[in-house]
Amino acid sequence: MILAKSCHDLDLLRWFADSPCKHISSFGSLKHFKNENAPGGRTERCIDGCEVEKECPYSALKLYLNMDLTEKPISVITNDFTKIGREKALCESPYGRCVHRSDNNVVDHQVVNIEFENKVTASFTMSAFTDGNRRTRIMGTMVEMVGNFETISLSNFKDQINEIVWVNKTEDVMGHGGGDFGLMKQFILAVKTNDPTIFGSSIETSLESHLMAFVAEKSRLTKKIIEI
């Protein structure tokens, strides 16, 4: 899960720390999305007349049949955007299966604790049970910063000043809050000018964050603190 959905978070933590990772520990499990937690009346697939589908927040019908056709989830399950095409996908593909009755063995919650070589420490929490937005808190000796996709706020302990220092005004082009477009624009400029320093990070750092994800999973499975 950390590699598939949260390697960018480790990218950011590594970039914030500005230091190689030294130690990692991690805990997590698949606790909720299991057959024994399925409410009564559940069927193998959401489209099979499930008695609790209308109240279920994970209903595939809500996600893939009733959403705007231009939204991303639809393009994931099928190339046929007609109602018949989408219903067929929910009858045949993994995306139509009940979240409690699938053979999924991936964690639904996990924490990763990190110590960097410069003694900066970080903790990352991945949870299936949130509104889906990332939230970041950076605690310094004089200042604390809290951010999400909408704003970044700053609390200055020394001067007792609390203020919002950034508001997102970026148009979401290509997804990821405009990040995809920004990355491609930066990449093309770097190639055009033959200047790799345009990038704020390096391929080596990105490889390290992926290694951190693998080590986090190893720590989770072995219940050990692992030195990189």
So what's the pLDDT on residue 189? 95
Mean predicted lDDT score pLDDT of the chain: 91
- Mean of pLDDT values over 214-228: 97
So what's the pLDDT on residue 180? 83
How far, in Å, are 45, 60, 61 from residue 100 at the CA level? 10, 12, 15
126 falls in which pLDDT band (50, 70, 90)? very high
So what's the pLDDT on residue 202? 79
* pLDDT above 90 (res 192): yes
Walk me through the domains of the chain, giving residue ranges and CATH numbers. 2-32+107-227 (3.30.360.10), 35-96 (no CATH)
- Mean of pLDDT values over 21-43: 95
Q: Cβ distance 56 to 40 under 8 Å?
A: no
